Chain A
Amino acid sequence: MNKKAFLISVIVMGILLSVQVRSFQKVTSLIERGDEKNLLSELRLFQRANEQLRAQVQDEQKTLEEARTKISQESLEDELKTLRALSGEEAVVGEGIEVAFNRAVNSFWVTDMIAQLVSSGAEAVSINDRRLSDETAGLRDVGSGFLMRNEFLRPPFHLSIIGPQKELRDAIAQNGGIIDRMQKAYPGITIFVTEKEKLYIPALPQ
C-alpha cells in the first residue's frame, strides 16, 4: 500500500514538474519577445498614433481639395504613381537603414522587427533584396535560413528599409530594444545597423 502511495506521489510530482517547466517556457518566450515598456512610453505611443491619424486627416483634406481643383488626369496620375511605388512592381529608392545579421534566427524576430520599423515610418522593406508585399509576406524557419512565402533565403541576411533614418534606427537599436534582445537570445550573432542616404529596393519579378 505504502509503495503504491509513493509511486503515485512521484508520478504526480513528475506531472507537476513538467507542467511547471512548460509554463515557464511559454512565459520566457513572451518575456523574451516583449520590449520593456513603461507608463510614459506607452502613453507617448498612443499620443503619436493620434498625431499620425491627425496628419492623415490633413493629408486626406489636401487630396480632396486637389481632386476638386486639379485637372482630372493629373490627379489620377499622382495616385497611380504612389500605387506603383507601393505595389512592388517598380524598383524604389530612398533614404533609410540597412540591418544585417549573419545567422538564421527564429522568424518571429524578423516579423517583430519589421512591425517596429513600420510603426516608426518604414515605407518599403526588403529581405535579401526581395521586396516585402502582400504577395511575398509570410516567413518560416527552414534549416539554416527562411522561407519567404515560396522563396528560400540563405544567410547572411540583410533588410533594407526605406524611411526616416534616425527614427528607424532608434526604434530597434535602443537599449533593451529588439536588437539587444536578439543578441541576448543568440549569443555570438553579429547584427549591424547602418544608416544609408540612398537605398535601392528592386521590383518584384512579374
Chain B
Amino acid sequence: MKIRLEDGGFILIGVAIGIILALQIQASPVKIGSFPLEQLEVKSQLLNTFSHEQELLKEELVVLKGKEAEATKIIEQRSSPKTLELLTRLRDKTGFAQRVGAGIRITLKDNPAVSRMDFSNRNENFVQASDLRDLVNALYLQDATAISINGNRIGALTPIRSLFDTIFIGNIQITSPFIIDVIGAPDSLSAAIEGARTRGITLFVDAIKSLTIPASTQSRSLMYTTIAVN
C-alpha cells in the first residue's frame, strides 16, 4: 500500500495531539476554587482580623523601637569609644544598622494577564515566595551587601514564605508589587536577575546611585544559642 505525504502529515498531527492530551491528563490538578462559600467567608474574615492585628503590632513595635533607640543613645553617650566602635561594627555586620550605598532596585510584578484574586502557588504567572528566595540567593552570590524587600531588611536567616496570596518576610506580611532594594556593584547585581526572567512574571531593574536600606526589625533575642566557651 502506498502512503501519501498527506497521510504522513495526518499521522504526525494525530501523534502530536495524542502526546499533548496525555501530558494534560497526567498533570496534577491545581487545587483552587473548591471551597464552599461559608468556608471562604470565614477565611476572609479571619484574614482581615489577622492583618488588622498585625498592623497594630507593627505600629506598637515602631513606637517601642523609637523609645529604645532614645534610651540606647543616652547609654551610648556614657560608654567608652572602644565599646561604641565595637557595637557599631557588630550592628552593621548583623543587619541591625541602616546602610546607604549605590545599588539596584528590582520590581517584581505578577503577569498583567492574571489577578491576585485567582492566586495559585502553582501558577508561574504569579510572583511566588520561591522567586524571592531564589533572587535573594542569586543577589548574595553577586556580593550584595544589604537587601530589603518592600522596606523589610533581609538577612541570611530571614525566612521568605508564602501564605495565601501574600508573602511573609519573617513575620511581616507583604503584597505585590515586590520592590527589592540591593546595595552592591550595580553591574554584577543585575546579572542575578537572569533566573527570574525565565518565568511568566514582570521584572524591572533600575540602577540607583544612593539607596537606603533600613535596619532589621527582626527579633534578636537568642533562646537556644550561646557563645561556645573554649
Kindly specify which of A68-76, A151-159, A181-189 makes contact with the partner chain.
A68-76
A82 in contact (CB, < 8 A): yes
A-B contact count (CB 8 A): 242
A57, B163: Cβ atoms closer than 8 Å: no
Fill in one digit per residue for A149-190: 1 if any B CB lies within 8 Å of its CB, else 0.
100000000000011100000000000000000000000000
Residue in B closest to A57 when the chains form the complex, CB atoms:
B60
B122, A31: Cβ atoms closer than 8 Å: yes
Kindly specify which of B75-83, B101-109, B110-118, B203-211 makes contact with the partner chain.
B75-83
Residue in B closest to A55 when the chains form the complex, CB atoms:
B219
Q: Kindly state the separation between the CA atoms of A121 and B24 in the bound complex, as whole angstroms.
A: 40
A82: which B residues are within 8 A, CB to CB? Answer: 220-222
B191 in contact (CB, < 8 A): no
Partner of A86 from the list B83, B86, B220 (CB cut-off 8 Å) is B220
Q: Kindly state the separation between the CA atoms of A132 and B140 in the bound complex, as whole angstroms.
A: 12
Size of the B side of the interface (Cβ < 8 Å), in residues, is: 88
Q: Kindly state the separation between the CA atoms of A111 and B172 in the bound complex, as whole angstroms.
A: 19
A72, B54: Cβ atoms closer than 8 Å: no
Q: How far is the CB of B108 from chain A (nearest CB, A)?
A: 16
A13: which B residues are within 8 A, CB to CB? Answer: 12-13, 16-17
**Residues of B participating in the A interface, judged by any CB pair closer than 8 Å:** 5-6, 8-9, 12-13, 16-17, 19-20, 23-24, 27-28, 35, 39, 43, 46-47, 50, 53-54, 57-58, 60-61, 64-65, 67-68, 71-72, 74-76, 78-79, 83, 86-87, 90-91, 93-96, 121-124, 128-130, 133-134, 137-142, 145, 155-161, 163-164, 168, 171-173, 199-200, 218-228
